[in-house]
Amino acid sequence: MDPDQTGFEECKLAMFRVWIGASAADAGVRLAAQMASTVVVARILSPEEFGLATLVLGVNSVMGAFIGLPFEESLSQRRRLYTAHLETALFASLILTAAAIVLSLLMGPLIEIWADAPGFSIYLLISSLLLLWQGPGAVSKAVARRSRRFVEISFCQAVSTVIASIVSVLAAMSGWGVYSLLLQRLLPNMLYPMLAAIFLWWRGQRIWIPIRWHTERFKEIFRFSWLHLADVGVTSSAPAILAFMVNAFFGGAVLGQLNIALRIVDPLRMAMMGVGHNLAFSILVRLQTEPVRLIQTAGRIAAAVGTAAIPAFVGLAVSAPVLLPLLVGPGWDLAVPLSQILCLAVGLSLPYRFYYSAYSALGRPEYGLLGSVVGLVCMIASFLTVVWLNGDSAPAISFLVYEVATILVVFPCARIVARGASGAASVTIARIWLAALIMAAAIYMIFLRTGPPLVTVPNLLLMILTGTIVYSVALLLTCRQCFRDFASLLGSHKS
């Protein structure tokens, strides 16, 4: 190989390592900030307040999904991007935000009466006003992703989450109740574009983009955007539908327990998926003309992520009887089994989500939409079935069914795109799962077999240390190559 080309490849690999390091730091900071704020607010607020916040955030997430995410993905995957595309995306997001605010005014009181949730309408209106920053945030992140400024993205995400977590804690301590939970989730969306603008100003680049309508540019991004919009809308509606079903059948207190269980799972899932998707997309989008290689690369990414994600979520599940009481205190006993099932569900599905990143990079968001629709239908059907058979476990089991259903859609789509090139990765992921289950069995036998565990920090640290050692040894036996998968993926990638 030419020495100059070799130097270029080494420089590129070093840059990828910087991006991965920054992204890992971002994920760690956000996870720590969200967990720390949950430790405080869970000791101040009641399960009913957590339940009401879940209903509000469920509806808000659906509205927010229609405003920013489709445009971010569409702008990121375009081969040629003009300023007019950005102006059009901002215009469309502003109109959609205005529509969301109007819908909040009209539908909020009706939902409040229907769900028997006092205060829902005003909370929904306030949360919809915070969506004004969703569009600018999506556009700024799309531009940063195209320029591969992942360090900047990581910094803005981490700092915005830390600030939001601090504000949330102060709001809870000041007696703001549900508002503190809304700020914890929604304030980062407002802070991110502000921090991104500071970076642009620091580099001497233009900060303000006119908000204009360009019919032709909208048509260029519409084909991708409306399909991705539908996918994101269905995906975002699933938690909202689950929340309203739980509230209807079990009440606000049980919904609050589910909220706490999700707060153990979601920060790690969102950090891993958000960071991983941005990095993976930057690789996959450059393989648009090679579907077989794209799917194979997505499989290697899924296996590499699974090496860390699967033991993390399995470890969370097995240590939940100690971890959750330490974090949120007494009064949340029902959240422990809920969080265990939720952790296993996310551990199963998260690696395979990167196939949907591949379909998106290929310009085929309809596959993601298919997975979301199938998952939603299966979730509703399983919830109603379990309620009829044994109601107590309906929330967690329906969540698990949703995640498993989205996995099952991956395989026929991969066969259509690349003649089933996902088989090798599935074998690798199965080997990782075997190592993680060995780890879980060891932790159970040592710490949980004799009865309720000792809820102390030293005991939790011992469980983590034991799990780390056992998993490392088990993975060495079940999948020795897995330790080197991620590095080999980066090293073998050619521009």
154/269 same-domain check: no
Q: How far apart are CA 26 and CA 33, in angstroms?
A: 11
Confirm if 180 and 168 have CB atoms less than 8 A apart: yes
Last residue of a domain, one of 226, 243, 270: 226
Q: How far apart are CA 58 and CA 437, in angstroms?
A: 33
343/432 same-domain check: yes
Residue 240 in any domain: the answer is no
Checking if the pLDDT of 194 tops 60, the result is yes
Higher pLDDT, 57 or 329: 57
Last residue of a domain, one of 226, 242, 274: 226
Buried b (16+ CB within 10 A) or exposed e, 348-387: bbbbbbbbbbbbbbbbbbebbbbbbbbbbebbbebbeebb
Residue 175 in any domain: the answer is yes
Confirm if 127 and 186 have CB atoms less than 8 A apart: yes
136/268 same-domain check: no
Higher pLDDT, 164 or 4: 164
Residue 94: what residue type?
A: L
266/185 same-domain check: no
Average pLDDT, the chain: 82
- Using alpha carbons, select from 186, 372, 353 the residue that is nearest to residue 269: 353
44/78 same-domain check: yes
The pLDDT tens digits for 130-164 are 888 888 887 787 777 777 777 787 888 889 999 99
Task: Fill in the DSSP letter of residue 288.
Answer: T
Helix (H, G, I), strand (E, B) or coil at 76: helix
pLDDT interval class at 379 (50, 70, 90): very high
The pLDDT tens digits for 71-95 are 666 676 666 766 777 778 888 888 8
Q: How far apart are CA 191 and CA 154, in angstroms?
A: 13
216/280 same-domain check: no
The pTM is what? 0.78
Checking if the pLDDT of 469 tops 60, the result is yes
Q: What is the DSSP string of 199-216?
A: HHHHTT----------HH
pLDDT for 84 equals 77
Residue 338 in any domain: the answer is yes
65/25 same-domain check: yes
Residue 468 in any domain: the answer is yes
Helix (H, G, I), strand (E, B) or coil at 462: helix
The pLDDT tens digits for 40-51 are 898 898 888 989
Task: Among 225-239, 370-384, 414-428, name the most confident range.
Answer: 370-384
296/365 same-domain check: yes
Residue-range definition of the domain harbouring residue 454: 251-495
Q: How far apart are CA 274 and CA 266, in angstroms?
A: 11
Q: Considering its fold, how many domains does the chain have in total? A: 2
Residue 239: what residue type?
A: P
310/191 same-domain check: no
